[in-house]
Amino acid sequence: MRSSRTAVSAVVVVCCALVGASACSGSGSGGGSSSASGTYTFWDPYPQFDASDAWAKLVASCGTKAGVTLKRTALDTTDLNNKALLAGQQDNLPDVMMVDNPFVSTLVQAGILNKTTDLGLDTSALQKNIVGAGTIDDAAYGIPIGANTLALYYNKKILSDAGVDPASVKDWASLTAALQKVKAAGKKGISFGAIGTEEGTFQFLPWFWGAGGDLNKLNSDKGVAAVTLWKDWVSQGLAPSDVLSNTQTTSWQEFATGQYAFGENGTWQLANAAKTGFDYGIISIPGQNGGLAPVPTGGEFVTVPVQKDTSRYAVDKKIVDCLTSNTNFLSTDTTLSYIAPVAAVQDQQVQANAALKPWVTALAAARGRTSGGLGTKYPVISEQLWTAVQGALTGGKSPQSAMDTAQKAVENHRS
């Protein structure tokens, strides 16, 4: 399998338009496959881990076990994505690369990634909805290293003082009633992030999907209902107006003040939750009419890019098998605050840390953002979705008008 230079070039142009020309500058230096015998290259989006960290040591050890030296390059997610597209254009891709799951479909469209079946990699034991985030036309293009997602943290004392039993929160009506009781008791309701970026969409999707919304039809009654829920919360003072600028980090900081009853956030905040100084709990995000709302999966996939020298794939497979063994899933996902994509390892995680049980439950109902055939259509849809939410929350447009505009923009882009 060889990459199509035309396809790669087209995707690079789109990527540069989305993230800015400065992010796409450069000649792709810093990590293509080395011609030196015994040296293989590996890219990941974890610049926070240097050579002394457990993750870097694991990467190096997997190279050693495969009989090679594995040269690691750590880039932030956006930089890695851009460099991957450029490296594909220049036939200078790394041997193994970790990719944020929504970007897998873009790289597949560009002809950059190999199918797992072509490499002899086995995905049969992986949780289907987690591996689904990297599956296009029924073919998997990588192994998920783990996954994270969203749920509702809650402040036990605030709910108790307001006379709210967290077990009573089973749908939107009961959640809104709980927020009203909390406000009446003099505390703040719920914090979330509605910033105009992918983070905003990520936070909104559980409510959109929880209403039965379809990303192919943003302006359906169900999609509009989700926007209306958020707008009503802000209008009634049940959520702060600064959700418009809240990232998931700043939203967490609000919850961590101890003034909010609920905070929508992810597994990655568990360590911080233990430092808040107050008792907290976690419940799954409810659907509009009950049940668990589908939540989006976050996390990266270990992928093998296309190489001119196909003889390298045998070692690439050994490296991937090492990184994604059950033993290494357990250590890696503990480090990254991820839930493992394998049930047996999830059980081990919960045995070691009971606080992870709600997250395993939440992931059982999770969806990949590009699943359902959306693939490379997702970034356009997502941008229009966060734009619509912003427009409705500012009061510039009604929820229906905002979603009508979003749907029209998506359709115009496709035409």
CATH number where 391 lies: 3.40.190.10
Final residue in a domain of this structure, among 325, 340, 364: 364
pLDDT digits (tens, 9 = 90+) for 187-217: 999 999 999 999 999 999 999 999 999 999 9
Cα separation, 392 vs 223, whole angstroms: 13
pLDDT digits (tens, 9 = 90+) for 148-177: 999 999 999 999 999 999 999 999 999 999
26 band by pLDDT with thresholds 50, 70 and 90 = very low
Residues 111 and 224 occupy one common structural domain: no
Mean pLDDT of 42-71: 95
pLDDT of residue 114: 98
Asked, for residue 114, whether it belongs to a domain, the answer is: yes
Residues 161 and 54 occupy one common structural domain: no
Residues 33 and 74 occupy one common structural domain: yes
Mean pLDDT of 91-115: 95
Q: Average pLDDT, whole number, for the chain?
A: 90
Asked, for residue 252, whether it belongs to a domain, the answer is: yes
Mean pLDDT of 124-143: 94
Please tell me which residue, 404 or 18, carries the higher pLDDT value: 404
pLDDT of residue 15: 41
pLDDT of residue 372: 85
Q: The tokens of 231 are what?
A: 């707008």
Asked, for residue 168, whether it belongs to a domain, the answer is: yes
Return phi, psi of residue 171, to 5°. Answer: -160, 180
Q: Is residue 414 exposed (0-12), middle (13-18) or buried (19+ Cβ within 10 Å)?
A: exposed
Cα separation, 191 vs 170, whole angstroms: 18
pLDDT of residue 373: 87
- Answer yes or no: are the C-beta atoms of 88 and 305 closer than 8 Å: yes
Residues 306 and 262 occupy one common structural domain: no
pLDDT of residue 23: 33
Cα separation, 39 vs 353, whole angstroms: 38
35 band by pLDDT with thresholds 50, 70 and 90 = very low
pLDDT of residue 335: 82
Residues 46 and 161 occupy one common structural domain: no
Asked, for residue 134, whether it belongs to a domain, the answer is: yes
Final residue in a domain of this structure, among 364, 383, 404: 364
pLDDT of residue 337: 87
Residues 286 and 378 occupy one common structural domain: yes
Residues 160 and 277 occupy one common structural domain: yes
pLDDT digits (tens, 9 = 90+) for 234-267: 999 999 999 999 999 999 999 999 999 999 999 9
Mean pLDDT of 386-394: 97
pLDDT of residue 177: 98
Residues 262 and 407 occupy one common structural domain: yes
pLDDT of residue 9: 37
Cα separation, 356 vs 39, whole angstroms: 38
Are β-strands 300-303 and 280-283 bridged in parallel, bridged antiparallel, or unpaired?
unpaired
Residues 208 and 246 occupy one common structural domain: yes
Asked, for residue 215, whether it belongs to a domain, the answer is: yes
Residues 335 and 390 occupy one common structural domain: no
Residues 132 and 227 occupy one common structural domain: no
Query: What single-letter amino acid sits at 373?
Result: G
pLDDT digits (tens, 9 = 90+) for 275-321: 999 999 999 999 999 999 999 999 999 999 999 999 999 999 999 99
pLDDT of 69 strictly over 80: yes
Q: How much is the pTM? A: 0.85
Asked, for residue 228, whether it belongs to a domain, the answer is: yes
Asked, for residue 255, whether it belongs to a domain, the answer is: yes
Taking the alpha carbons at both ends of the chain, their separation in whole angstroms is: 30
pLDDT of residue 334: 85
Asked, for residue 212, whether it belongs to a domain, the answer is: yes
What is the tally of structural domains in the chain?
2
Q: Which domain holds residue 159?
A: 150-295+374-414
pLDDT of residue 226: 98
Q: The tokens of 218 are what?
A: 């943003």
Residues 271 and 174 occupy one common structural domain: yes
